[in-house]
Amino acid sequence: MRKENFGALEETIGYRFRDQDLLKTALTHSSYSNEKKSKGVDVECNERLEFLGDSVLSIITSTYIYGEYEDFREGDLTKTRAAVVCEKALSKYAGAIGLGDFIFLGHGEDMNRGRERPSIKADAFEALLAAVYIDSGYDLDAPRSIVLPFIKNEIEEIKAGSSFEDSKTALQHIVQQVNSEKLEYVLVGESGPDHDKYFEVEARLNSNVIGRGRARSKREAEQLAAKEALRLFGEE
């Protein structure tokens, strides 16, 4: 059953729409639009807004990753962006704000648990970002304030996964091939206030610096230092 009160959604995302019709369009699935049109009522679906929202999401995500992760090469940037704007991730973001409960669906789609379909929720989330962007006078800060916390959290989860753990492990395997080699990670600097601190770490092989990393946690900084060292060895 769809929730009727848009105010609850607006409160959740922290944005109040001036144009409620724009919000309604963002939440209108094509199945609902087609159903209404079959009855002679012209209702616009959210596909055009979804198109714009995809670009809005991309620029917000790309700008954040580019500025935040200076050690990432193009491939790392591309992979990270793809991971945090994929259908699975967007569906998760939509679920966090209960977006599925507000979507206008055709009767058949609604009966077939359409509100739970990742593709429908992901598309509606992109459309919502576009609607906020337009309603705010094309101010990127408005949709950014909604989606950026999700992006940050998703990246942290990715970094905590195996793909980031592999760098230190792979480097250790290389070093272990020679018994006399000594690998260590040395904290060489800290910067920023306690709530936004950055750590700088060097990966050292027999006291020689072979990689550097800078991140919000020592663990991540070590991983980035190891990743840079792997490039030195031609492993990345």
Which residues are known catalytic residues?
54, 126
Token pair 């690998």 is found at 183
Integer CA distances (angstroms), 225 to 72, 126, 204, 206, in order: 11, 35, 9, 15
Q: What strand order describes the sheet that includes 183-191?
A: 183-191, 198-205, 208-215
Give yes or no for a contact between 129 and 145, defined as CB atoms under 8 angstroms apart.
no
Residue positions counted in the chain: 236
Helix, strand, coil fractions of the chain, as percent rounded to 5:
60, 10, 25
Residue 23 tokens read as 């919000």
Contacts of 30 (CB under 8 A, 6+ apart): 45, 46, 47
DSSP readout, 1-62?
A: -----HHHHHHHHT---S-HHHHHHHTB-HHHHHHHHTTT-----SHHHHHHHHHHHHHHHH
Residue 32 near residue 45, CB atoms below 8 Å:
yes
